[in-house]
């Protein structure tokens, strides 16, 4: 098992050490999160007065974990799945798909099936085709997952090049060239009256990843250019301490509301997108990735880390001490009136010092994916004899 592979981002000893530590925490957490009777991972582990308790189950999160596990040795899979085989767990997900399944569940299940080279991957593909991801009302994130599901693992036969081309086109139409950001909903989908200008960090990460994969599969330069420009915008907007902020204005290309800052963005989602971009374009965002992990190791907002050594878990986020999502809603509303308008005094009235004591399996799955050998550089070619 090699969870801290050699890559440009790991040339720094801190990053290499951190990647290895994160991988081991993820494996141990996933062992606690798996329900062998239902062959599903939980929705979350949440801290309560009774302790850190497992809650619910999630098809999406199970599929995401399988995507991560597909990059690792059988021994890791057996440990996490308590002796079950990843192929069997994936088969259960495929059999569970119906005409009522949400696009995100279908896309992630297909991605897992293709990553594992599952014999019934074509069944998952048929579900995706019937869901019409090139047309249906679904967030940009789910369209990006659908594209990644079709192109991330070219060795699999369960693919549809025509549909992949349509999905890449849909993502590109949702790219705002002046801001270098993707919209939260595709350009041809129904938009929110008050929040159509707001994109979240996930709306950047997953299209960058999907379009980078698409370029690697097809050589499409327009996809690569959009991924490259959005990746650079991400890096340009990164916080002084390495934070990946939460909400952005697709009209101006500026941060709209920084908090919460999610641990999954810091240790896996941002790295896996930027590393996919490096594979596709050779662009190295090693400094941004290192700073991302440094924030997780010590967040100035809480003067500590979301990595809890005693609980052996990584907590979900640092957020404002506010009722509900008040500041995000107010900032979206104010900026809708005028792009320059902001609610003043947010950091003073609602300081970002709250820790969300919850952790989810998809976070652990993306850690296993981001720091796998998939993103290791190819070994140098042997020298030619003269």
Mean pLDDT, residues 102-119: 97
Tell me the pLDDT of the chain averaged across its residues. 93
User: Is pLDDT at 282 greater than 50 in this prediction?
Assistant: yes
pLDDT band at 377 (very low <50, low <70, confident <90, very high): low
CB 261 within 8 A of CB 354: no
Token digits of residue 257: 């509301």
Pair 312, 29: CB distance under 8 Å: yes
The region of weakest confidence among 31-45, 48-62, 298-312, 317-331 is: 317-331
pTM above threshold 0.85: yes
Segment 242-265 mean pLDDT: 97
Span 245-270, mean pLDDT? 97
CA triple 265-80-360, angle to 5 deg: 30
**Per-position DSSP letters for 316-375, written without gaps between them:** -EEE-S-STTHHHHHHHHHHHH-TT---TTHHHHS-S-EEE-EE-HHHHHHHHHHTSGGG
pLDDT of the residue at 347 = 87
> Can you tell me the distance from the alpha carbon of 19 to that of 4, in angstroms, rounded to the nearest whole number?
5
Q: How far apart are CA 128 and CA 155, in angstroms?
A: 19
Query: What pLDDT score does 4 carry?
Result: 42
pLDDT for 43 equals 98
| 19 in Cβ contact with 25 (< 8 Å) | no
Q: How many CB atoms neighbour CB 15 within 10 A?
A: 22
pLDDT band at 12 (very low <50, low <70, confident <90, very high): confident
Least confident of 55-64, 241-250, 331-340: 331-340
Q: Is the pLDDT of residue 3 over 80?
A: no
Q: Work out the average pLDDT over 78-92.
A: 96
Neighbouring residues of 288: CB distance < 8 A, sequence distance ≥ 6: 234, 235, 238, 242, 270, 274
CB 244, CB 201: distance < 8 Å: yes
Reference 170, options 222, 231, 130, 235; nearest CA is 222
Q: Provide the pLDDT for residue 8.
A: 44
Q: What's residue 58's pLDDT?
A: 98
Could you count the other beta carbons within 10 Å of the beta carbon of residue 241? 14
Q: What does the pLDDT average to over 341-367?
A: 93
In this model, does residue 118 exceed pLDDT 50?
yes
DSSP 200: E
The predicted pLDDT at position 383 comes to 54
Question: What percent of the chain lies above the pLDDT cut of 90?
Answer: 82
Under the banding of pLDDT at 50, 70 and 90, the label for residue 233 is: very high
What is the spatial distance between Cα 75 and Cα 58, in angstroms, rounded to a whole number? 23
Residue ranges per structural domain of the chain: 8-55+159-372
Whole-number pLDDT of residue 1:
46
| Beta-bridge partner residues of 355 | 318
Query: In the predicted model, what is the mean pLDDT of residues 211-230?
Result: 98
Q: What pLDDT is stored for residue 168 in this prediction? A: 98
379 vs 128, higher pLDDT:
128
Q: 41: closest CA among 261, 349, 362?
A: 362
Rounded to an integer, what distance in angstroms lies between the CA atom of residue 310 and that of residue 285? 32
> Is the pLDDT assigned to residue 386 strictly greater than 50?
no
Q: What six digits make up the tokens of 82?
A: 């308590």
Tell me the sheet residues that pair with 255: 248
Q: How far apart are CA 170 and CA 159, in angstroms?
A: 18
Cis peptide before 330 (omega within 30 of 0): no
> How high is the pLDDT of residue 10?
43
Question: What pLDDT score does 5 carry?
Answer: 44
């Amino acid at each position: 098992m090699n969870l801290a592979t050699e890559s440009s981002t790991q040339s720094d000893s801190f990053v290499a050490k951190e990647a290895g530590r994160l991988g081991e925490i993820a494996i141990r957490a996933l062992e606690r999160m798996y329900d062998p009777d239902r062959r599903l991972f939980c929705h979350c582990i949440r801290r309560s007065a009774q302790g850190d308790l497992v809650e619910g189950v999630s098809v999406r999160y199970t599929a995401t974990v399988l995507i991560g596990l597909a990059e690792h040795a059988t021994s890791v899979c057996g440990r996490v799945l308590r002796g079950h085989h990843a192929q069997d767990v994936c088969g259960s997900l495929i059999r569970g798909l119906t005409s009522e399944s949400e696009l995100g569940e279908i896309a992630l299940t297909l991605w897992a099936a293709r990553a594992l080279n599952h014999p019934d991957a074509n069944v998952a593909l048929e579900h995706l085709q019937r869901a019409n991801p090139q047309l249906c009302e679904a967030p940009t994130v789910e369209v990006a997952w659908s594209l990644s599901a079709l192109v991330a693992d070219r060795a699999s036969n369960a693919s549809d090049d025509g549909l992949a081309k349509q999905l890449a086109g849909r993502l590109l139409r949702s790219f705002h060239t002046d801001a270098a950001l993707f919209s939260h909903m595709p350009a041809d989908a129904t938009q929110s009256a008050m929040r159509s200008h707001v994109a979240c960090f996930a709306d950047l990460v997953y299209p960058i990843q999907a379009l980078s994969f698409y370029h690697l599969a097809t050589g499409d330069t327009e996809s690569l250019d959009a991924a490259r420009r959005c990746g650079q915008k991400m890096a340009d907007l990164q916080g002084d301490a390495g934070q990946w902020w939460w909400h952005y204005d697709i009209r101006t290309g500026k941060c709209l509301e920084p908090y919460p800052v999610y641990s999954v963005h810091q240790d896996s989602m941002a790295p896996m997108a930027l590393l996919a971009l490096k594979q596709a374009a050779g662009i190295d965002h090693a400094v941004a990735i290192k700073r991302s992990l440094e924030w997780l190791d010590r967040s100035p907002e809480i003067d500590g880390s979301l990595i809890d050594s005693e609980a052996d878990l990584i907590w979900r986020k640092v957020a404002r001490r506010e009722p509900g999502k008040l500041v995000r809603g107010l900032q979206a509303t104010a900026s809708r009136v005028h792009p320059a308008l902001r609610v003043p005094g947010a950091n003073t009235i609602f300081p970002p010092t709250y820790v969300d004591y919850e952790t989810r399996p998809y976070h652990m799955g993306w850690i296993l994916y981001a720091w796998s050998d998939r993103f290791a550089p190819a070994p140098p070619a042997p020298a030619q004899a003269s």
